[in-house]
């Protein structure tokens, strides 16, 4: 029995083989094409003054960014406290726990801030993006747009991409501040360090290029999240039962994509130390 026959003879509601068995190569090619098309329309979207376009972007920014504020605030404070306790515990045997704030501040700007925010956005928004597009695909709305001569990437994917690119760096800056606030709480209240010492260490370790690296990572992560989630939603089958698997795959592959992108960026900085 061929694969096509197996799909056609499978019971109703059973997942189709061609969607479940889409190879990594096919996903990579599909996402590359989607990314190219989204970037093509991103320039038009950035300078468009049409109310329907700007309102769509504003709606996406509100849903993806403002809705995630409480999650980012609470998680960033906790991450700052955790990082402070862990670093201080490791440095204590060497009598160097007084430089814990310096270590965490540098690491927060380059790594903790952008990665924590990206993972929170993935957990909260990747499934929502993929689920929305998969639902539109299942109900025939995507086909209706194409029938009217409208590109779904232009009106559905590009606004989400622009919104995530705006939201993620902004949330990263907020997360950096709140992680440092958590470090300050941990160092002054629980570890009995002075606020003056914390400020001195912060000035010595926190430089502009570290913030630039973190914001650059945030833009890369935003691109990965939007493209992966949109691709999984648009490539889902045209049936209601395919919505949940598409949302699940969007979260899984977005997490892998964010971590892979972070690894590549860190490897570049490691092998080319004078880059930034």
pLDDT for position 276: 62
Q: Which helix (H) or strand (E) holds 57?
A: helix 51-64
What band does 41 get if pLDDT is binned at 50, 70 and 90? Answer: confident
Name the pTM for this structure: 0.84
Q: What percent of the chain is modeled with pLDDT above 70?
A: 88
Q: How far apart are CA 59 and CA 63, in angstroms?
A: 6
Top mean-pLDDT range of 7-16, 69-78, 98-107, 182-191: 69-78
Q: How far apart are CA 171 and CA 229, in angstroms?
A: 19
CA-CA-CA-CA torsion for 37, 43, 48, 52, nearest 10 degrees? 30
Residue 4 has pLDDT above 60, yes or no: no
Phi-psi region of 137 (alpha: psi -120 to 50; beta: other; left: phi over 0): alpha
Q: How far apart are CA 164 and CA 152, in angstroms?
A: 18
pLDDT for position 49: 67
**244 vs 22, which has greater pLDDT?**
244
pLDDT for position 181: 92
- What would the mean pLDDT of 188-213 be, rounded to a whole number? 81
- What would the mean pLDDT of 257-275 be, rounded to a whole number? 88
Q: Are 79 and 113 in contact (CB under 8 A)?
A: no
* DSSP classification of residue 86: H
Residue 10 has pLDDT above 50, yes or no: no
Q: What is the pLDDT of residues 171-194, one digit of tens each?
A: 999 999 999 999 898 888 877 778
- What would the mean pLDDT of 92-111 be, rounded to a whole number? 81
Closest by CA to 64, choosing from 166, 135, 155, 152, is 166
Exposed/middle/buried for residue 160 (C-beta within 10 Å: 0-12, 13-18, 19+): buried
Top mean-pLDDT range of 35-39, 43-47, 74-78, 84-88: 74-78
Q: Which residue has the tokens 């609470």?
A: 74
Indicate the average pLDDT of the chain.
Answer: 84
pLDDT for position 12: 44
What band does 118 get if pLDDT is binned at 50, 70 and 90? Answer: very high
Q: Quickly count: other Cβ atoms within 10 Å of residue 217's Cβ.
A: 25
């Amino acid at each position: 029995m061929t694969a096509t026959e197996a799909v056609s003879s499978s019971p109703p509601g059973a997942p189709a083989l061609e969607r479940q068995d889409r190879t990594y190569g096919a996903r990579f090619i599909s996402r590359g094409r989607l990314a190219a098309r989204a970037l093509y329309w991103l320039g038009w979207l950035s300078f468009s003054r049409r109310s329907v376009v700007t309102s769509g972007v504003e709606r996406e920014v509100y849903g993806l960014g403002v809705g995630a504020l409480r999650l980012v605030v609470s998680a960033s404070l906790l991450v700052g406290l955790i990082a402070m306790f862990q670093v201080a515990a490791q440095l204590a045997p060497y009598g160097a726990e007084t430089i814990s704030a310096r270590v965490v501040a540098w690491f927060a700007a380059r790594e903790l801030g952008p990665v924590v925010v990206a993972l929170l956005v993935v957990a909260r928004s990747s499934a929502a993006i993929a689920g929305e597009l998969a639902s539109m695909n299942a109900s025939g709305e995507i086909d209706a747009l194409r029938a009217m001569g409208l590109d779904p990437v232009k009106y559905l994917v590009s606004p989400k991409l622009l919104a995530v690119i705006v939201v993620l760096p902004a949330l990263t800056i907020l997360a950096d501040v709140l992680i440092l606030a958590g470090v300050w709480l941990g160092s002054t209240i629980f570890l009995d360090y002075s606020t003056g010492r914390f400020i001195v260490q912060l000035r010595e370790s926190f430089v502009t290029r570290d913030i630039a690296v973190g914001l650059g990572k945030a833009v890369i992560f935003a691109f990965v999240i939007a493209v992966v989630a949109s691709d999984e939603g648009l490539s889902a089958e045209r049936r209601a039962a395919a919505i949940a698997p598409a949302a699940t795959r969007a979260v899984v592959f977005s997490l892998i994509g964010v971590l892979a992108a972070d690894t590549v960026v860190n490897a570049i900085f490691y092998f080319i130390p004078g880059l930034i």
